[in-house]
Amino acid sequence: MSETDAPHSEGQDETLVETLQLERIEMNLFRGTSPDNSPGRIFGGQVIAQSLLAAYETVEARVCHSLHCYFIRPGDPTVPIVFEVDRSRDGGSFTTRRVVAVQHGKQIFNLAASFKDPEEGFNHQAAMPEGPHWSELKDQMEVMRELMKDAPEEAKRWMSRSPPIEMRSKDARTYWLSGQPQDPVSQNWFRCRTPIGDDAHMHQVILAYASDMNLLSTAMRPHGVHWQTPGFQSASLDHAMWFHKPTDFNQWHLYVHDSPSASDGRGFIRGQIFAEDGTLVASVAQEGLLRMKPAK
């Protein structure tokens, strides 16, 4: 399973809501597909989102407050994914679900999620850090098209497609051009390009989709490597997310990353997602593979 700075574009005239939709094939079994123009591996955020959506199909009214998942095998975008939901528990306060994603008869991903009814209680949050406002920044796809104006035609055709998540950042797509180590921190503004609708659960599902973006690249910064560095390997290993407040993901949000540790071929990254008004709506943690192949 891969994390990528540029997840696939949707099909022509297709919204991300439509792309992620599942077909129920049994009471606890669902089938999902990937867009025809996906890259060689399925974007990890897609499987997170579809697994959460499958879990929601078995939950009556409660809202997800946390999920924890593992990427087990690379996903094949050319075949459907089957999602099997285990209704682990329906308790007085919490509902628990486990979801296993299968392709070619093997698990490629699993997710555990917990749901609860909203309630009033103690309330505090971290402050949103200072940084450029989204209105001061260019769309990252525009930046990439400028950088790749002399790239091969196939690469330019790929970059001509608009990804489902709009992102703006001061340096997330250009830091690697310098080839110099940088601090393991980054900030990205992002939102869904196409309308999500009034379903609050779907806003959460698509926020989970986008939460897999740009995390591993933050852990690469101190080491002067990037996705195209010869011999460099990277992949998401696990992913956790906590939803603090409901939000409208058609509006701009700030995604703040830092990577406090890398060791043993792994990088660890933390993320905080703020609404434009400074409300902390979600927190994220991920560990990923960071490895250089031995020179031959």
In angstroms, rounded to a whole number, what is the distance separating the alpha carbons of residues 66 and 61? 15
Encoded tokens for 236: 């998401």
3-state secondary structure of 47: helix
What percentage of the chain's residues is helix, strand, coil (to nearest 5)? 20, 35, 45
Instruction: Please say if 236 is a catalytic residue.
Output: yes
Instruction: Extract long-range pairs of 145-152: CB within 8 Å, 24+ residues apart.
Output: 147/173, 147/174, 147/177
Q: Which residue has the tokens 């103690």?
A: 122
Q: Which of 34, 103, 211, 212 is catalytic?
A: 212
Which H or E element spans position 217? helix 215-220
Would you give the distance in Å from CA 181 to the centre of its chain?
24
Instruction: Please say if 212 is a catalytic residue.
Output: yes
- Mark 60-84 as b/e (b = at least 16 C-beta within 10 Å): eebbbbbbebbbbeebbbeebbbbb
Q: Which of 2, 169, 217, 286 is catalytic?
A: 286
In angstroms, rounded to a whole number, what is the distance separating the alpha carbons of residues 204 and 211? 10
Encoded tokens for 162: 């608009």
Q: Which residues contact residue 288 at a Cβ distance below 8 angstroms, ignoring those fewer than 6 apart?
A: 3, 215, 216, 219, 234, 235, 236, 237, 266, 267, 269
Task: Please choose, from the candidates 182, 241, 233, 194, the residue with its C-alpha nearest in 3D space to the C-alpha of residue 213.
Answer: 241
| 286, 269 Cβ separation under 8 angstroms | yes
Residue 6's identity, in one-letter code, is A
Q: Which of 50, 236, 259, 272 is catalytic?
A: 236
Q: What positions carry a catalytic annotation?
A: 212, 236, 286
